[in-house]
Structure formats: structure tokens, C-alpha cells
Amino acid sequence: MKYLSTRDSSLEVDSARAIVEGISREGGLFVPSELPRLTREDLERLSGLSYPQRAQWVLSRFLTDWTGEELAGCVEGAYCGGRFEDDDPAPLSCLDEDICLLELWHGPTCAFKDVALQLLPRLMPAAAQKCGCREEIAILTATSGDTGKAALEGFRDVPGTRILVFYPEDGVSRMQKRQMTTQAGENVAVIGIRGNFDDAQSGVKAIFGDRALEEELRREGFVLSSANSINWGRLAPQIVYYISAYCDLLTAGRIGAGEPVNFCVPTGNFGNILAGYYAKGMGLPVKMLLCASNRNNVLTDFIRTGRYDRNRRFYATTSPSMDILISSNLERLLYLLTGRSDRETREKMEALGRTGVYQLDERELSALQREFYGACCDDAGAADTIRRVFERYSYLCDPHTAVAVNAWEQYRAATGDRTKTVILSTASPYKFADTVLEALGEDCPEDDFQRLRRLEEVSGMPAPAALRALRETEVRFRETCAPEEMRDRVRRFLSQG
Ligand SMILES: *Cc1c(COP(=O)(O)O)cnc(C)c1O
């Protein structure tokens, strides 16, 4: 299978190169030239397999330039080595007949990004080797909180790689900041940006687009790559858990063969939900994909009106990993909605860069609305949902997951659709203990670790060991910079050691 750039379909690479380069040279994103087929028989067979076996099967359809052995090595390293609780990266937790949560946060950093970012660092050096790339790989990542930590943890001390993470200094939770600034590893660095996530992401994109810098770094022996969800190596592993969740529903007898389900996804950069759309494209029986947003509801408006308009106020919310006004992966959806037109995709992305706005035509909008439903709620709505879900089911959800539960309730009220729905639960509630405690009407201790303890008392559920352990870990990274200084910080980081 080949990968094409969304902005120039004549640029064609295999998956190894798509993963090493992260983003195409002219700014486009790599997309598969076609989607592999997933039949009902495949689903039945996969249902009898473990998560790593399912992952191996799905990945082998997309990464066709890899041997089974190569993939097995990466998959086993990521999912069988005790890095996920019970070696299961994606257990389902069903609240009642209609609704199950897909808990994607049982990995080392307690957010869903671990599922892909435990795998990507294993794919990356192997992909570099396949491409004959001799340079050291320098991973540059902008984070709204969770990607950064998951990428640091994934790439730490991986030979032949270095990783530099930029996060918005005041745009992440205290626990997220602590997780990142205490990161261990010889090949890592973390810098706070005096700006928001979009500033950090735009800065990183500009660095990727800087040909002079690329040449300069190549002479020094480095090639830049990305661990953001613009990298195909992030998206492919995420397709797996949609299929796996469906298999688990089948195995549990909660659905019959071929029965469609909905997935509801708390969305920021549109990476997670896009993986669901690819799974559907392969043949997974999915009725609707519910796109849940917080007060930064640019996607809700887009899905309802066909007009994407980023010219609006940016809000810092209690679900910071969704505080995004430019959802990068939407570009891959646009490519599909425009009938795989690189020209139209490029024009829309150029319009977005120039004016902050682009508009779908009627045909594109109705194609979008056939597949996606958008809903949003503010912080008060999310807090209310956390409280109601806990009271009703004794189930604790984090603020991101709560936004999704709220969106699903709105969808059901608006449409009456009773299709079984899987809600993607993207973070451990302990990562956002302050918000969760407040939502439950509990007082919130000043100290981060007393908060964990308080929440344990309230819920009777132990906090993840990885978060508790941070108490003993020293802060290593205190540096901050302005968005304009990011290039220099990259140079400085790479000139060390
Ligand atoms: C990253 C993240 C999201 C958003 O996922 P996208 O792929 O960016 O849409 C939602 N919830 C949590 C907890 C996250 O870390």
C-alpha cells in the first residue's frame, strides 16, 4: 500500500517513509492510497484473538512494506511487556445495555495517547532503517498536555532518537506539567511556550516547513520527525482499538454479527475520531461517529454548518487536551470528503492559513453529516456529567470523557437513536483530580498528591501508580520560551551532547 500527500497526490511513498517523515514536504499529510477490507469473517476471527494479535493483523494491512516478524516485534514490545495494566491497552467497561466506555488510559502516562505512542517509537527506528536513513531522528512535538508525556515516555532512551516537547506553559493541568517536567531519559527535553497550544503547534509546523533549517540539521546528522497525530504511525495503531472494541462487544454477546454501533469521541486534533472513520471505511459496522467538543467548539460548528472558522476566542477549559482551534487531522477527512482531491484540499488549507476560514460545498457537507454528528458542552456541563455518571453508575470519568458522555446524551435526545454506543474514555480521572473532586462537590486539597488520596477515598478506586510515583520525582525541566524562539531552542537542543 502506498501513502499519498493530501496536497499533492503525485507524491507517493511507502509506509516506512511516511512514518519517518511525519509530514509531507509541501505541508500535506500522508494518507493511504486505499483502505484495506475488513469482512464479517475477519471480525469473527479477530474476536477470538488477543489485543496484540488483533493489532498485528490490522497493522499488517496498512504497513504492507513490513515483514510479519518486524511488526510482531514492535507490537509485542508495545503491548505485551507489562506497560499496560493486565497487558490490555483497550478494555471495555459497560455501564448499561446501551453504553460502554473504552478505557484507553491504562498505559504508563494514563491517557489514550499511550496506545499509539508505545508503538510509534518502536516503528520509527525500524522505519528509518528500511528507508536507508542514517541520520539521528529528532522528534519535535507540540502538546496540549497528554501527547508530550506519552511521546517522552515512548521515546525515552530509544537508540537513534531524541525528543523535544513544547507545551503551552499555562495551558496544561498541574499533573500534566509535573509528568512532563520530571521526565527521565538521556535523549529528552521539555520547554514551556508562552502561548497556547495552537501557537506551539504552528511553531512546530513552521519548523517542519523550513527547508533551510532542514538542510542545516541534515549536515549535523539529524532528520526531523513528529510524534503528533499528523504522523501516520500515530493513526494506524488507533484504528486497532475501534475494531478491537467491536470484537469485544461481539464476544460478550452484546451485539450480533454485523450490528452497527456508534462511537463517541472527545476530540481535539481530530486524530482519534479519524481513526474510527478509517475503521468504518474498512468495513467496521459503524453507524455514526459522534464528535464531542468542549467550549472550543469549532468542530461542532463545522459539522453543523460546513464552515470551519478558527477566528474565535480561545478558551482554557478543564479538558485541556481538547483546547484546540486548528484540528490538523481534519485535513485527512477533507481529502476524503472532496473525493480525494489534492487540489481542493490544498485550496482549503491555504484558505485556512490565509483567512482562518474554509467552507464545504453542499455535497461535501451532506457527506460529512452522514458520518459525523457534532455536539459540545462547557466546563459546567462536563462537571455536571462527572457528578451524574458517578451518582448513577459509581463510575468516575475524567473531564474529557465527560464531555463525550454529555455529547452522547445530547445526540440521543436530539435523534432518539438507540444504537449501542462506545464512548472513548481518553484519560484517567486521576490525571485531573482537581476538576473531578470539584465536580463531585468535594473539597480539593492544595497538594497534588493529597488530591489523589482524596479521590481514592471518594471513589474506592486506587490512583495509577505512575501518578503516585511522581511525588518522589524531581523536576528536571524549567525552561520557557516565546513562540518565535522555538527554532533556536531546537538548534540548541540538537547541538548538545
Ligand atoms: C489528545 C486527547 C484528546 C483529543 O484527541 P485528538 O486525537 O487530538 O482528537 C482527548 N482526550 C484526551 C485525554 C487527550 O489526551
- Single out the residue of 473, 435, 468, 466 nearest to residue 450, CA to CA: 468
| C-beta separation of 296 from 448 below 8 A | no
Q: Give tens-digit pLDDT for 209-228.
A: 899 999 999 999 999 988 88
Reading the block at residue 89, the C-alpha cell is 491497552
Whether 348 sits among the annotated catalytic residues: the reply is no
Task: Tell me how far the alpha carbon of residue 21 lies from the centroid of ligand 1, in angstroms.
Answer: 22
Residue whose C-alpha cell reads 474529557 in the numeric block = 400
For residue 490, the tally of other CB atoms under 10 A from its CB is: 24
Which residues are 191's β-sheet partners? 166
Q: Which of 104, 322, 432 to mutate to test the pocket of ligand 1 (most atoms within 8 A of CB)?
A: 322
Contact 107, 88 (CB under 8 A): no
Distance 431 CA to ligand 1 centre (A): 13
Residues 6+ apart with CB under 8 A from 213: 207, 487, 490
| Residue 122 CA, ligand 1 centroid: distance in Å | 22
Any ligand 1 atom below 6 A from CB of 293:
no
82-110: burial string, b at 16+ Cβ within 10 Å, e else: ebbeeebbbbbebbeeebbbbbbbbbbbb
Of 224, 1, 249, 243, which Cα lies nearest the Cα of 124? 224
Which ligand 1 atom lies nearest to the CA of residue 272?
7
Residue in 173, 90, 172, 190 with CA at minimum distance from that of residue 430: 173
CA distances from 480 to 42, 117, 165, 483 (A): 50, 25, 11, 10
Residue 490 confidence (pLDDT): 96
**What are the pLDDT tens digits along the chain (497 aa)?**
999 999 999 989 999 999 998 888 888 999 999 999 999 999 999 999 999 999 999 999 999 999 999 999 999 999 998 999 988 999 999 999 999 999 999 999 999 999 999 999 999 999 999 999 899 999 999 998 899 999 999 999 999 999 999 999 988 888 899 999 999 999 999 999 999 988 998 999 899 889 999 999 999 999 998 888 889 999 999 999 999 999 999 999 999 999 999 999 999 999 999 999 999 999 999 999 999 999 999 999 999 999 999 999 999 999 999 998 989 999 999 999 999 999 999 999 999 999 999 999 999 999 999 999 999 999 999 999 999 999 999 999 999 999 999 999 999 999 999 999 999 999 999 999 999 999 999 999 999 999 999 999 999 999 999 999 999 999 999 999 999 999 999 999 999 86
Q: Packing angle between helix 379-393 and helix 399-415, nearest 10 degrees?
A: 90
From residue 256, how far is each of 133, 368, 420 by CA, in Å?
47, 27, 11
**Kindly report the CA angle at 334 between 402 and 31, in degrees rounded to 5?**
95
Report the SS3 class of residue 80: coil
- Phi/psi of residue 406, nearest 5 degrees: -60, -45
Phi-psi region of 160 (alpha: psi -120 to 50; beta: other; left: phi over 0): left
Convert the pLDDT of each residue in 5-32 to its tens digit: 999 999 899 999 999 988 888 889 999 9
